Amino acid sequence: MHATTIVSVVLTTLLASVRAQNITTGELGNATVVDNNPPGATYLAVLPEKQFFNPSDPRGNVKGSVSATASPDGIGVVYSVSLSNFPTSGGPFTYHLHVDPVPADGNCTKTLAHLDPFIRGEVVACDPKLPQTCQVGDLSGKYGKVTNGSLVQTYTDLFSSTRPGLGSFFGNRSITFHFANKTRITCANFTLLGSATIPPSTGSNTSATATPTVVFAGLGARNMASAGMALGAAALALLL
Ligand SMILES: *[C@@H]1O[C@H](CO)[C@@H](O)[C@H](O)[C@H]1NC(C)=O
Ligand SMILES: *[C@@H]1O[C@H](CO)[C@@H](O)[C@H](O)[C@H]1NC(C)=O
Ligand SMILES: *[C@@H]1O[C@H](CO)[C@@H](O)[C@H](O)[C@H]1NC(C)=O
Ligand SMILES: *[C@@H]1O[C@H](CO)[C@@H](O)[C@H](O)[C@H]1NC(C)=O
Ligand SMILES: *[C@@H]1O[C@H](CO)[C@@H](O)[C@H](O)[C@H]1NC(C)=O
Ligand SMILES: *[C@@H]1O[C@H](CO)[C@@H](O)[C@H](O)[C@H]1NC(C)=O
Ligand SMILES: *[C@@H]1O[C@H](CO)[C@@H](O)[C@H](O)[C@H]1NC(C)=O
Ligand SMILES: *[C@@H]1O[C@H](CO)[C@@H](O)[C@H](O)[C@H]1NC(C)=O
């Protein structure tokens, strides 16, 4: 084969694989599956009577709760969402696990950003077909936005955790609901129901409580296509 043919074959192959990998992940890689959630741990977030912000709606706040229980096998967390009375306009509504709890004054701005231990960011929308690439806290991105007045749904999320000590632990944090334009409507703390069996970590095995470490320092949240272009250029340079 002529060199130019080889080059074009190499480039085509490279670009095809890059196109297939146009995926946004966290700077620390994909979210990891948590497989040692303490059995029996259930956290409940009950929305307050008074909304944080919904000025033009006389029907009061969104009503209901979100409960989250470690799966019996410790792999993932089962969310049970039961909500009604969403505003009549301004949707579809999104909701997320947020980093901080709700302060005593109920100000949802102070719950800070989405729970995002892998530093993925929210600029590029989550692809629900690849939930490991999404922000850990982006529940509506992974499992669906609220498109009408209510949401009754149960799903298992493999990436958030009921194990204290992990970055993906949400038990000391909150859930926040937004209008489509991101303005915060309401928020609530998670609180632990009953008692969880949390095995003590021994000095010789810290993996149970350590923050997940993922060795991937390369492309980060940037679009991988640019890296592919660089690779293609490198291949071209080598062959010429
Ligand atoms: C790759 O992702 C970017 C956004 O990150 C998007 O604009 C572009 O259309 C995507 N390309 C393909 C081929 O999916
Ligand atoms: C993240 O997961 C996606 C989908 O499985 C995979 O294509 C991609 O290579 C992963 N990225 C990293 C950095 O592990
Ligand atoms: C967002 O949408 C809500 C509901 O439509 C509206 O009340 C609010 O003013 C909007 N916020 C911004 C910053 O535009
Ligand atoms: C949420 O939890 C935090 C931490 O326990 C607490 O300080 C705060 O008062 C709680 N917020 C509400 C609205 O109950
Ligand atoms: C909520 O907190 C933010 C940030 O501290 C502040 O700017 C805002 O005025 C507060 N809103 C209300 C209604 O207190
Ligand atoms: C509300 O939205 C859900 C999810 O899209 C859908 O399954 C349900 O039928 C809708 N309910 C009504 C009353 O439109
Ligand atoms: C919540 O728990 C995690 C893991 O134990 C910890 O890193 C984080 O600082 C805690 N956040 C708050 C607001 O207490
Ligand atoms: C350490 O803990 C992890 C998670 O609980 C477990 O899978 C692993 O077998 C333990 N390793 C040792 C050496 O005890």
pLDDT for the residue 208 = 37
**Which CATH entry fits the domain spanning 42-194: 2.60.40.10, 2.60.40.200, 3.40.50.970, 2.40.30.10?**
2.60.40.200
User: Is residue 203 scored above 70 in pLDDT?
Assistant: no
101 lines ligand 4 (CB under 6 A): yes
pLDDT for the residue 209 = 38
Beta bridge partners of 78: 69, 156
Per residue in 85-143, pLDDT (tens digit) is 999 999 999 999 999 999 999 999 999 999 999 999 999 999 999 999 999 999 999 99
Per residue in 156-195, pLDDT (tens digit) is 999 999 999 999 999 999 999 999 999 999 999 999 997 6
Q: Which of 50, 102, 110, 176 to mutate to test the pocket of ligand 4 (most atoms within 8 A of CB)?
A: 102
CA–CA separation, 223 and 86 (whole Å): 35
- Of all protein residues, whose CA lies closest to atom 9 belonging to ligand 6? 148
pLDDT for the residue 233 = 43
Q: What share of the chain is helix, strand, coil (3-state, %, to 5)?
A: 20, 20, 60
Per residue in 44-83, pLDDT (tens digit) is 999 999 999 998 789 999 999 999 999 999 999 999 999 9
Q: What is the mean pLDDT of residues 27-41?
A: 95
- Of all protein residues, whose CA lies closest to atom 2 belonging to ligand 1? 22
Specify the higher pLDDT residue, 179 or 5.
Answer: 179
- Say which DSSP state 208 is in: T
Report the separation in Å between the CA atom of 207 and the middle of ligand 8, taken as the mean of its atom positions.
Answer: 7
pLDDT for the residue 202 = 41
Q: Which sign does the torsion angle of CA 137, 141, 145, 150 carry?
A: negative
104 lines ligand 4 (CB under 6 A): yes
Residue 39: closest CA among 135, 161, 129: 161
Residue 225: closest CA among 18, 31, 70, 14: 18
Measuring CA to CA, how many Å separate 74 from each of 32, 163, 235? 14, 10, 46
Domain ranges of the chain: 2-21+216-239, 42-194
User: Is residue 150 scored above 60 in pLDDT?
Assistant: yes
